[in-house]
Structure 1
Amino acid sequence: MSDRLDDIASFFDGGRLTLARQLAGLRKNALAGLIGKTPTAVAAYESGSKNPAPATVAALALALQVAPGFFTARPSRRTLAATAPHFRSLRSTSQISRDQAHAYGCLALDVVTAIERHVEFPARDLPCRPVAPDAIGRGPEAAAAALRLAWDLPPGPVGHLVRLVENHGGVVVFSPLANATVDAYSFDTAQRPIILLNPLKDDYYRQRFDVAHELGHLVMHVDAEPGGRAVEDQAHRFAAEFLMPAAEIADELPAKADWSRLGQLKQHWNVSLQALLFRARTLKVMSDVTYRNAMATISARGWRRREPGPMPLLEQPSLLPRALKLLADEARVDEHTIAAECQAPLGLFRTIVSRSPSAQPVSADAAGRPVSLLALEE
């Protein structure tokens, strides 16, 4: 073991230490206290100006609950996000929470890279349609229409949105409970775009809008500064047009708060009552006064938290969990093997490859041969 620690100390990657510290939600001074070093020493380890001693590597691994090998360089770090993560509100999310969430996304990229050594995923197919944050006009709506066209979507409601993203080369995962204070977010990489969903948002309609919102960022905001009000408004407009094209829904929307009609549209278009009301107002089908009164009714009846009517089950990611099952069944490669390849803590690995935050994938004995997963179907 000492020889192994000597090797890790020699090839120590400070960026991996930063990643592990951020995953743990720790500041440098907090980590320094846990390992009996100064914050200056921790900063030196992370910057690469100084390598830790083997005993310090062991202490870091213990404090951060990762294997010592986590601190060696990973190839995927060179292909990390070309865009900063798109968080909904920078003011309401602390820097340490954003760092922790982004670190988890980076770990998810490591897991995807490891699985793709064994499984062929659908090719990346996400067109770029930049819209400047200060642009006027219908840029977001045009971008949404362009994506529907590029993905050959028929008129009408969008089907299983998470699977649609996965079939076009995106990755969708649930965040761990530790990041539950952070809403859905996304970032792009040279490898694949990644969308991360909040694990506590138990609402089918809001989850779908979240995914469409993040698609908007990935399509329009490659170079945009994230978190600004204009950027978020554009992503919201993109999502509304992508899920409810104006040319198709405008004539269906009521001018008054006809709850029966709105309920029918909700079931048909798979969007919330609130999204429909906002769409009716945006398209000038409904007046501002009528919209405000309708939203007041929604608040008074407690529908902001839970709207009336049946709630479909959440859409669940399929790409990674099915890839793991395929490897287990056909190639005899188990979750422990893949987790070890990317040095991911097993608990976080299981969350990344799960259909839901509480699910766990199937295991098998380890070995390995290439298999393919080019399309996802139920």
Structure 2
Amino acid sequence: MIERHLRLPELRLPHLDLADPAGPDDVRAAATTAREAFSLAQAPVPHMVRLLESYGVIVLALPDVSERVDAFSHWYGQRPFVFLSPAKDDKARSRMDTAHELGHLLMHHDAEPGSQILEREATAFASEFLAPTVVLRDELPARLDFDRLHELKRRWGISLKALVSRAHELGVYRDHTYRRGMSLLAQWGYPEPGDLGPREAPSLLGKAVELLDERQVTAATLATQAALPATLALAVIDAATEHVPELQLAAL
């Protein structure tokens, strides 16, 4: 309905040919190819949601969903959609969820949902996409140094748990160090220490609707054109709008 009035970003997702069956090296190579296509070089991803939106993916925050649902993605016509759950307000987790769904969009075309193999591949893709091995391996501390891990959490925007897991996968931590790290994280509970701030939220459609409203194309008009109930159209728009807290000057 919006694209009748406004040109949204062109869909520019890279095309990846993943081997079948795919091994860990194939998934890592796919993530590396994707990073190159997104012109990320070897730097951290500044904002996963903004990245997807700028390449033509529609991202929505799902209201009132089960905490067991982190995210999912689907193609509607010629546009891919990523749906994120706001149930756990954790920036590191939202970035990983978004990168996970990007992995599905790029690697698993027309795949049946629910496959544990595909879920593991998408998780491995997300880990490599957010923090490439070629850089991260040299940055990880050789011992379980949580001060250093906190620095890496802020640098790469991924959780301490993800960093400890990657250190184990890459052979930096032996089994006993990995188990000790995960045990400490379990004791500290959720959310883990070192909050990164508010989760990443979508804004593309919300900004588009604001622009159209300035041109007297209201949300009600869009709902009518899409043959949607007004309440549903407003819910979709709200799910694609970043809600930034308003600041007020304190009285002197």
TM-score of the aligned structures, taking structure 1 as reference length: 0.61
Tell me the equivalent position of 2:208. Answer: 323
- Stretches of structure 2 that go unaligned for 5 or more consecutive residues are 244-252
The within-5 A match list for 1:181-200 is 181-200=68-87
For residue 327 of structure 1, what is the amino acid of its counterpart? L
Deviation per CA, 1:23-61: give whole Å up to 9, x if none.
Answer: xxxxxxxxxxxxxxxxxxxxxxxxxxxxxxxxxxxxxxx
Tell me the equivalent position of 1:270. Answer: 157
Tell me the equivalent position of 1:283. Answer: 170
The answer to whether structure 1 residue 339 and structure 2 residue 226 are counterparts is: no
- Structure 2: how far apart are the matches of 1:180 and 1:336? 31
SS of residue matched to 1:212? helix
Aligned-pair CA distance for 1:182: 2.6
Misfit runs of 4+, over 3 Å: 178-181, 355-359
Q: 2:112 aligns with which of 225, 241, 247?
A: 225
The within-5 A match list for 1:36-115 is 114-115=1-2
Aligned-pair CA distance for 1:137: 4.4
- Structure 2: how far apart are the matches of 1:129 and 1:189? 20
The answer to whether structure 1 residue 293 and structure 2 residue 180 are counterparts is: yes
- Structure 1: how far apart are the matches of 2:186 and 2:20? 31
Q: CA contact under 8 A between 1:176 and 1:357: conserved in structure 2?
A: no
- Structure 2: how far apart are the matches of 1:274 and 1:253? 13
**For residues 180 and 332 of structure 1, do their structure 2 counterparts lie closer, same or farther at Cα, with a shift above 3 Å needed?**
farther
SS of residue matched to 1:327? helix
Tell me the equivalent position of 2:238. Answer: 354
Aligned-pair CA distance for 1:117: 0.5
**For residues 194 and 314 of structure 1, do their structure 2 counterparts lie closer, same or farther at Cα, with a shift above 3 Å needed?**
same
Taking only the aligned residue pairs, the percentage that are identical comes to: 42
Aligned-pair CA distance for 1:211: 0.2
Q: Which has the larger radius of gyration?
A: 1
Deviation per CA, 1:253-304: give whole Å up to 9, x if none.
Answer: 12322110100110111111011111111111111221111101111121xx
Q: CA contact under 8 A between 1:175 and 1:351: conserved in structure 2?
A: no
Q: CA contact under 8 A between 2:30 and 2:125: conserved in structure 1?
A: yes
**For residues 345 and 179 of structure 1, do their structure 2 counterparts lie closer, same or farther at Cα, with a shift above 3 Å needed?**
farther
**For residues 125 and 244 of structure 1, do their structure 2 counterparts lie closer, same or farther at Cα, with a shift above 3 Å needed?**
same
- Structure 1: how far apart are the matches of 2:73 and 2:210? 25
Q: CA contact under 8 A between 1:317 and 1:354: conserved in structure 2?
A: no
SS of residue matched to 1:196? strand
Q: 2:4 aligns with which of 117, 131, 138?
A: 117
- Structure 2: how far apart are the matches of 1:221 and 1:356? 25
Q: CA contact under 8 A between 2:14 and 2:37: conserved in structure 1?
A: yes
Q: CA contact under 8 A between 2:59 and 2:83: conserved in structure 1?
A: yes
Q: CA contact under 8 A between 1:316 and 1:355: conserved in structure 2?
A: no
Q: CA contact under 8 A between 2:47 and 2:200: conserved in structure 1?
A: yes
For residue 78 of structure 2, what is the amino acid of its counterpart? Q
SS of residue matched to 1:186? strand
Aligned-pair CA distance for 1:210: 0.1
For residue 132 of structure 2, what is the amino acid of its counterpart? P
TM-score of the aligned structures, taking structure 2 as reference length: 0.90
For residue 258 of structure 1, what is the amino acid of its counterpart? D
- Stretches of structure 1 that go unaligned for 5 or more consecutive residues are 1-113, 360-378
- Structure 2: how far apart are the matches of 1:240 and 1:252? 15
CA RMSD of aligned residues (A): 2.0
Q: CA contact under 8 A between 2:67 and 2:87: conserved in structure 1?
A: yes
Moved more, 151-160 or 130-139: 130-139
**For residues 310 and 287 of structure 1, do their structure 2 counterparts lie closer, same or farther at Cα, with a shift above 3 Å needed?**
same
Tell me the equivalent position of 2:43. Answer: 156
Aligned-pair CA distance for 1:178: 4.8
Tell me the equivalent position of 1:72. Answer: none
- Structure 2: how far apart are the matches of 1:117 and 1:141? 39
- Structure 2: how far apart are the matches of 1:281 and 1:154? 24
